[in-house]
Amino acid sequence: MKSAISSLISSRNFNLHRSSLSFSIFRRPSLLLPSQFPVISTDDKATGANFTSLRRKCRFHSTKSSPIMASSFNPEQARSPPAVPLPIPPVTKFKIGLCQLTVTPDKQRNIEHARKAIEEAVEKGAQLVVLPEIWNGPYSNDSFPVYAEDIEAGGDASPSTAMLSEVSRRLKVTIVGGSIAERSGDKLYNACCIFGTDGKLKAKHRKIHLFDIDIPGKITFIESKTLTAGQTPTVVDTEVGRIGIGICYDIRFQELAMIYAARGAHLICYPGAFNMTTGPLHWELLQRARAADNQLYVATCSPARDVGAGYVAWGHSTLVGPFGEVLATTEHDEAIIIAEIDYSLIELRRTNLPLLKQKRGDLYQLVDVERLKSE
């Protein structure tokens, strides 16, 4: 398999170098034919599959010319495969709801509580609702197996996602369902389910980077004691745009956000539960950096703080704009943040600072291994 990837990398670069067409991505966007560039799409079926096909659809924002010329340093090669053009989202402006929920050991209460929060967010205008990481039970290695659900089986085997499906269909809202512990065979995952307005599971992200850290006297947690890491990045096309998904510790890995940006994401959602040590140190910093570096929206959703819990969450759910600016945030108590997203700002910021055209593909290249394999 690896040798196949390697040869793909090889042939891809070689093709890029020789193909004037590929060069034209950045130099002459108005000359592009709609069918020439792959755009990532996720499987609509409720399979939980993440990145399953490359559909050859290509859409552009207005191709008004920038006063700044593209460089001659093969910026398109800085991503391998080259970044896809930003797709036109189904909606440009909409409201997002971030539900920073209290979580108790009572699973049924947590499910009903989350349902009410989603309903409230939708009442306040949210077309996209995001829940926290691990919202149906306590965050601990002891609890994961107890609260885990068989998402693929669904129904009674997964009351948490059954609720998400029901409410998303009933209220016609897109839900990034935070995360719950997932049982699949003899393995457990930390999994985020994304439901469309039709109540169907559009994608499922299993946390890729497990939270194994050790800051003596402050915080030590080894998630890999009980959980298995996911195997794929997740980008999903929804009624409110193309969304990349990461769970908590995934945010520390800038490469993941870079991959999502190159796949055309408008927004990255990170359900997450940073703690009282890493929260003040890094939570806002990482969100703002991912947004500013990749010139897209970033939304995070944490559980509310419970100082009596075994793991004390930092809170501070936040929405960040494509200039890295904090658009809405909160402290650590339970809260529902309603804030507006305006995707036209992505294009504006990328015109202001044309980073994508200024990258040095002759010096560095970020390879999206999975996308390369799929081509």
CB of 163 to a copy of itself, least distance (A): 31
Alpha-carbon span 300 to 13, nearest angstrom: 35
Is 248 in the active site?
yes
CB of 364 to a copy of itself, least distance (A): 4
Residue 168 contacts by C-beta under 8 Å, 6 or more apart in sequence?
174, 175, 195, 196, 197, 198, 199
DSSP-derived pairing of the beta strands 318-320 and 297-301: antiparallel
Amino acid letter at 332? Answer: H
Q: What is the dihedral of CA 278, 283, 286, 291, to 10 degrees?
A: 170
Torsions phi, psi for 191 (to 5 deg)? -125, 135
In the bound state with a copy of itself, the residue whose beta carbon lies nearer, of 14 and 56, is: 14
Residue 220: CB minimum distance to a copy of itself, A: 8
Closer residue to a copy of itself, CB minimum distance, 32 or 372:
372
- Tell me which of 107, 202, 204, 207 is the catalytic residue: 207
Report the nearest approach of a copy of itself to the CB of residue 171 (Å): 34
Residue closer to a copy of itself (CB basis): 103 or 256 = 256
Within 8 A by CB and 6+ apart from 145, the residues are 181, 183, 188, 226
Instruction: Provide, rounded to whole angstroms, the least separation between the CB of residue 329 and a copy of itself.
Output: 15
Specify the residue, 144 or 283, whose C-beta has the smaller distance to a copy of itself. 283
Sheet holding 326-329, edge to edge: 234-238, 241-245, 267-271, 297-301, 318-320, 326-329
Compare residues 35 and 72 and give the one whose CB is closer to a copy of itself: 72
3-state secondary structure of 77: helix
Q: Cβ 156 to a copy of itself, closest distance in Å?
A: 34
77's CB contacts (< 8 A; 6+ apart) are: 13, 16, 17, 361, 362, 365
Beta-strand (E) ranges in 196-282?
201-206, 212-215, 219-222, 234-238, 241-245, 267-271
| Residue 371 CB-half CA count within 13 A | 29
Q: Show the tokens assigned to 356.
A: 């994508």
- The residue among 2 and 33 lying less far from a copy of itself, judged by its C-beta, is 2
Please check whether residue 199 is in contact with residue 166, taking contact to mean a CB–CB distance below 8 angstroms.
yes
Active site includes 57?
A: no
Of 193, 248, 269, 301, which one is the catalytic site residue? Answer: 248
d(CA 191, CA 312): 20
Which parts of this chain interact with a copy of itself (CB under 8 A)? 2-3, 5-7, 9-14, 16-17, 66-69, 71, 73, 78, 80, 208-210, 212-215, 220, 222, 224, 229, 231-233, 252-256, 258-259, 281-282, 285-286, 288-289, 292-293, 323-325, 351-355, 358-360, 362-370
Which residues are tagged catalytic?
133, 207, 248
